[in-house]
């Protein structure tokens, strides 16, 4: 591990020298790549620098304990040895986690798709609640939320909704939300007071950067423009501003009508199509890599039941890590950090085990 860390420090120093050279600023693409690499390596280099400093301090304290005759100084050396050992253990664990290969999508914005599943109107109502939960969570982290497409039902539910969350690290927090979410409660329309179970599906896709080549030949896509339907402002429903993309090879249909401008709706539709195609490719690779699938905490199988929201008991259970919290109101109001932190920790632990087994 330390040979690898020494090599990383050397690379970090090389990057700093390159960034200080006058020629780098004239090449903005190279400058951005170097700045990104420097930013990615900084936490690891800083932690390793601290690790080496504490290691040196531990050796000095041990030498002092061997050479010093004064008992008061020997006691101070013992205390320093004890505290340094503890800090070294903590730093070593941090380094092991920092050395886990980083998901290249972690810092990206995300596109989230929620669809009502089994349960009819009750599922659509639950989809709308989960949508609001994610919006509140994004707001708590000062991230921007933007609705791309949706279909509502008359009683306040949603058959489906697509939205984008823009903010540094958005994918790293949302990626564990993909899967089937289940709700157990007595519907408002149920006169007999019986508990019903309904489901929704959540898909989380990283926004695709322009530098990632997603080849979409013109012949593979049909573009239709039309008048927007449903609730709209003064211009939305009176011009042909809505855009529908049909991708023939996959059957994916994207419909965007939330903007007044046809150009804006078209840009949103293409962004969503690119992300869906990129996500399909990632899913294909994920399914081909059985070992990787077993080393991740539910970030791949969209049919996996990941979480249950039980209203009568006031609990939320994440089935992947067997975590149950009795704070359903807070969670539905966007308080997701405790669940996401636990999922992140479990994912890191699984990946560490896999690294050590190699």
Where do the DSSP E strands lie in the chain?
110-116, 144-152, 158-166, 179-185, 196-206, 221-226, 242-247, 252-256, 305-310, 315-318, 323-325
Task: Provide the 3-class DSSP secondary structure of residue 154.
Answer: coil
Residue 105: other Cβ atoms inside 10 A: 21
- Cα–Cα dist 145/311, whole Å: 27
Q: What is the pLDDT along the chain (358 residues), one digit of tens a residue?
A: 788 889 999 999 999 998 888 888 888 888 888 888 898 899 999 999 999 999 999 999 999 888 888 888 889 999 999 999 999 999 998 898 888 888 888 888 999 999 999 888 899 999 999 999 999 999 999 999 988 888 888 888 999 999 999 998 999 999 999 999 999 998 876 666 788 999 999 999 888 876 567 778 888 889 888 877 655 444 444 567 888 889 988 888 888 887 778 888 888 888 888 888 888 877 776 665 555 444 445 444 456 799 999 999 999 999 999 999 999 999 999 999 999 999 999 998 888 887 766 5
Which residue has 């903007």 as its token pair? 259
- Cα–Cα dist 311/85, whole Å: 47
* Residue 247 CA neighbour count, 13 Å, CB half: 19
- Cα–Cα dist 303/298, whole Å: 10
Q: How much is the pLDDT for 210?
A: 62
DSSP assignment string, 292-312:
HHHTSSSSS-TT-EEEEEETT
- pTM attached to this predicted model: 0.73
* Tokens encoding 102: 């980083």
Buried b / exposed e over 6-39, threshold 16 CB at 10 Å, is: eebeeebeebeeeeeeeeeeeeeeeeeebeebbe
Distance of CA 218 to the CA centre of its chain: 31
- Cα–Cα dist 343/307, whole Å: 12
- Cα–Cα dist 34/12, whole Å: 10
Q: How much is the pLDDT for 232?
A: 47
Contacts of 243-246 with C-beta under 8 Å, sequence gap 24+, read 243/269, 244/269, 245/221, 245/269, 245/270, 245/273, 246/221, 246/222
List Cα–Cα distances, 93 to 1, 47, 79, 88, 103, in angstroms. Answer: 12, 10, 22, 9, 19
Where do the DSSP E strands lie in 36-178?
110-116, 144-152, 158-166
Q: How much is the pLDDT for 42?
A: 92
Burial class (CB in 10 A: 0-12, 13-18, 19+), 50: middle
Residues paired with residue 255 on neighbouring β-strands, in sequence order: 244
Domains and CATH numbers, the chain: 2-98 (1.20.58), 110-349 (3.30.70.1660)
Q: How much is the pLDDT for 191?
A: 61
């Amino acid at each position: 591990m330390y040979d690898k860390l020494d090599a990383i420090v050397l690379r970090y120093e090389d990057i700093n020298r390159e960034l200080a050279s006058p020629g780098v600023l004239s090449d903005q693409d190279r400058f951005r790549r170097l700045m990104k690499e420097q930013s990615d390596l900084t936490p690891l280099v800083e932690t390793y620098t601290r690790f080496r400093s504490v290691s040196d301090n531990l050796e000095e304290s041990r030498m002092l304990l061997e050479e010093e005759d004064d008992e008061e100084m020997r006691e101070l050396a013992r205390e320093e040895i004890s505290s340094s050992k503890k800090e070294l253990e903590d730093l070593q664990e941090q380094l092991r986690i920092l050395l886990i290969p980083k998901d290249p999508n972690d810092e990206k914005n995300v596109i989230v798709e929620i669809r009502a599943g089994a349960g009819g109107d009750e599922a659509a109502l639950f989809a709308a609640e989960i949508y609001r939960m994610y919006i509140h969570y994004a707001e708590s982290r000062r991230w921007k939320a933007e609705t791309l497409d949706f279909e509502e039902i008359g009683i306040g539910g949603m058959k489906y909704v697509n939205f984008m969350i823009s903010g540094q690290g958005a994918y790293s927090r949302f990626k564990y939300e993909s899967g089937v979410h289940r709700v157990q409660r007595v519907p408002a329309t149920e006169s007999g007071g019986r508990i019903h179970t309904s489901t929704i599906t959540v898909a989380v896709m990283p926004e695709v950067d322009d530098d990632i080549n997603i080849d979409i030949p013109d012949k593979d896509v049909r573009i239709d423009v039309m008048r927007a339907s449903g609730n709209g402002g003064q211009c939305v429903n009176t011009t042909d501003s809505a855009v529908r993309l049909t991708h023939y090879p996959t059957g994916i249909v994207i419909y965007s009508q939330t903007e007044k401008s046809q150009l804006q709706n078209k840009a949103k539709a293409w962004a969503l199509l690119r992300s869906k195609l990129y996500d399909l490719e990632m899913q294909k690779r994920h399914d081909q890599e059985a070992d990787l699938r077993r080393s991740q905490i539910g970030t791949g199988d969209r049919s996996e039941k990941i979480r249950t929201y039980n209203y009568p008991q006031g609990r939320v259970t994440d089935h992947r890590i067997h975590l149950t919290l009795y704070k359903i109101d807070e969670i539905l109001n966007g308080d997701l950090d405790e669940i996401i932190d636990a999922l992140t920790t479990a994912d890191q632990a699984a990946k560490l085990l896999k690294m050590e087994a190699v």
